[in-house]
Amino acid sequence: MSAQLPIRRLGTSGLEVSAIGLGCMGLSFGYGPETSKEDAIKLLCKAFELGVTFFDTAEAYGPFANEALLGEALAPFRDQVVIATKFGFKNGKTDLGLDSSPQNIRNVTEAALKRLKTDRIDLLYQHRVDPVVPIEDVAGTVKELIKEGKVKYFGMSEAGVESIRRAHVVQPVTVLQSEYSLWWREPEKEVFPTLEELGIGFVPFSPLGRGFLTGTINANTKFDPTDFRNIVPRFNEENRKANQIVVEKLREFAKKKQVTPAQIALAWVLAQKPWIVPIPGTTKIHRLEENLKAAQIILTKADLQEIEDVFSTIEVQGARYPQHLQQRVGK
């Protein structure tokens, strides 16, 4: 490994990873056409070379294509990285609804082990809480998989406080993954105090606001027809226009620090708690390099107060999910 990122511990479980991980979804799914295999492998290898040891995927990304991609790209240094994947959708397809039945969890795990070319999954997340399956049964199944050596740690994604507490009694939850950034701070209210109390780490996805906080998206941006952001209320043209104020303020602050808006957005997330590890995604090596440099930026108390003072007066426009997807979060 030619570069070194600071290491962070996710909660009290002993799981240690690079302070910034890599969200891999966008290489195969969600944000327009998938990246060519050759370019995707180059990016994943470059991330490792730059010190990233934490890679996030899911069976639903593709479906299946993303896990297979990581399996191939990370094979040469498998024992030096932490791979997180997820179960929880019928046949791995988000549009078919949820399935966290014990049998499905087992099936997904076996299939993921093959695709990831590995004998264990470092961190296995429930992708969304399934209202039909008691969370105790989910946690119990993962507990068995941990005993069998197929999984090392249990995580939950977008779960609410009650589900986290109930699951944690059966099998300690190592990590909660949810959206969190300068323009989506909901987890601070109830989730953070619960995680702190139980010793659970936090992995924010979309720490750059699905790209918006980089300053590269405006009211005139046209997304690919297959891009998920086309159905996100926060990204409709009117709201993008209204929310430009967020980027302008970020840009002003970044200019004073002689860094980029994306780097400030990530440094801010890192400064919130020592047990937070953001996983920004990208398909471009220069963006990857830019993002990882955020780990070197130290924001002082005065800096953080200034950001707080400015951003607390801005009301971000638009919901972060369309209604049908919003129903799946915070359960």
CA-to-CA distance for 154 and 187, rounded, in angstroms?
Answer: 19
Find the DSSP H helices in 199-284. Answer: 237-242, 244-257, 261-272
Cβ atoms of residues 217 and 251 within 8 Å: no
CA-to-CA distance for 278 and 276, rounded, in angstroms?
Answer: 6
Residues linked to residue 164 through DSSP beta bridges, in sequence order: none
Cβ atoms of residues 261 and 214 within 8 Å: yes
Cβ atoms of residues 201 and 276 within 8 Å: yes
Question: In sequence order, what E strands does 72-211 have?
Answer: 82-87, 121-126, 151-157, 175-179, 201-205
- 180 catalytic, yes or no? no
Element (H or E) spanning 286, and its range? helix 285-293
DSSP state of 300: P
Amino acid at 68: A
CA-to-CA distance for 69 and 34, rounded, in angstroms?
Answer: 11
- Catalytic option among 31, 61, 125, 180: 61
Q: Checking DSSP bridges between strand 7-9 and strand 54-56, what pairing results, if any?
A: unpaired
Handedness of CA 100, 103, 106, 110 (dihedral sign): negative
Catalytic sites, residue numbers? 61
